[in-house]
Structure 1
């Protein structure tokens, strides 16, 4: 199996403890599996042509039954590629009704998006309506992220109010927060924290982040979507078996535990 990634120390560390799973025998895929990915904290780390992180290394340890071709693309394009059948696997992904139309979902961990800002004396926001009512707060989001219908409703109303910035990646959102251009973002804390941990320009933000869960964005499933449109029945079944074995193994949760502070996981990721 070949991935577009280098043999870095981080990749080696991520692979530790997963080699036993690699001997699992699976049905072979009839062709290479196309897996476009975007930067997603330490779940997917992209440095030029090098692709590392928790999920790429999970795929790397599945053995030789399937060849996974990982390519780096912008987040918004990734979503379009999956919807139009140009991506065989969407990983990692939160479960949403829109994505269910195009793929078979395999849950691996629980995740949650929260409001995230730099710590301040501002009163705590406890609901979506309170956020909408605080019209002085500018909100920055990653284009292509989707945490379900309530999230999309917030996007529409914040856009109508003229308070919304869209950017291409979590790191860019972190820089907007640090510069004071935006006051709040909404995403899984592990994604923003992972991006911050990888860039010296914003690393000092990590211990200053404030997480504010709201009931409109509850805990939900995160995992992988297998395309209904781009794969034949045999390859779809083979991938489904692989992803289900990954979910049962607990290796994804172990990867998060190795590479994130406990306080970040407490707010955003839970094992199944």
Structure 2
């Protein structure tokens, strides 16, 4: 009986050791795609890349022992790559039933959408309904972006009237806005915050908050179901949670936003 207990205890130790080894094993070589957007991912003066999304992925890779090969793509190409099994992961993705079919989302950021309204738009327009009731003004969005239930429903009503322009990326969206092709654009906090530092943009727009108070948009890493199994996805989740618990996520947000805005992004 004593020897059986020893064998059983040894077996338990072996299982625990194997589980621990699996938890700490390097996660190999992965391919990730980023998209340029405000403080999430932007090009620096020396031609390199920086931003919240990059810092999050770099820290996850460091903690998990991954080698993550990065590329910069449009959001449309990223969704195609994930759906087709040509990418392992991407960043700041919003979960939808369609996307959950090919990817698992691991949240790390809670964003809020705003409407940036150009100065040429009548100041009395202060709500979604008033915007809808003014037929000669149009809004720009980035193709495939989700903006929360209230804004998405509003945008569908505007699309039905031909009043929504869809840009392939954030740079193109800003160009539409600057040249007056659209009179407003959708932007999350990390999108409009960098604009505050651009003198040429000063006084050219108003930031409008028209969504219900709890209409946040939660973004996260999206991991390909074809290329990243459930056990590895769980490790990503634990790593992100540890980064939140030890203050790393907050410090990353504060590198690219002010402290007050950074704190809001943790409400996921």
**Range of TM-score over shorter length:** 0.7 to 0.9
Q: Distance in 2 between matches of 1:249 and 1:158?
A: 43
Q: Distance in 2 between matches of 1:134 and 1:97?
A: 33
Q: Distance in 1 between matches of 2:247 and 2:131?
A: 36
- Contact 2:38 2:190 (C-alpha < 8 Å) held by counterparts: yes
Matches within 5 A, 1:55-204: 55-62=53-60, 63=62, 65-119=65-119, 121-127=122-128, 129-194=129-194, 196=195, 203-204=199-200
Q: Structure 2 residue aligned with 1:210, among 193, 206, 212?
A: 206
Post-superposition shift, 1:219?
A: 1.8
Q: 1:68 to 1:106 in 2, by over 3 A?
A: same
TM-score, length basis structure 1 = 0.74
Which consecutive unaligned segments of at least 5 residues does structure 2 have? 1-21
Q: Distance in 1 between matches of 2:254 and 2:27?
A: 34
Post-superposition shift, 1:91?
A: 1.0
Work out whether 1:232 is the aligned partner of 2:229: yes
Q: 1:46 to 1:149 in 2, by over 3 A?
A: same
Q: Distance in 2 between matches of 1:252 and 1:40?
A: 18
- Contact 1:31 1:67 (C-alpha < 8 Å) held by counterparts: yes
Cα deviations by residue, 1:49-73 (Å, 9 ceiling, x for unpaired): 8432222123223426111111111
Greater Cα offset, 40-49 or 184-193 = 40-49
Post-superposition shift, 1:158?
A: 2.2
- Contact 1:116 1:211 (C-alpha < 8 Å) held by counterparts: yes
Report the equivalent of 2:9. none
What SS is found at the alignment partner of 2:85? Answer: coil
Report the equivalent of 2:34. 37
Work out whether 1:270 is the aligned partner of 2:265: yes
Cα deviations by residue, 1:101-144 (Å, 9 ceiling, x for unpaired): 333332223211111123465224323x3332221111111112
Work out whether 1:242 is the aligned partner of 2:239: yes
Which consecutive unaligned segments of at least 5 residues does structure 1 have? 1-24
TM-score, length basis structure 2 = 0.75
Cα deviations by residue, 1:186-235 (Å, 9 ceiling, x for unpaired): 121322443x479xxx6521564311122368223222222323213443
Q: Distance in 2 between matches of 1:91 and 1:134?
A: 36
Q: Structure 1 residue aligned with 2:256, among 233, 243, 259?
A: 259
Q: Distance in 2 between matches of 1:238 and 1:105?
A: 13
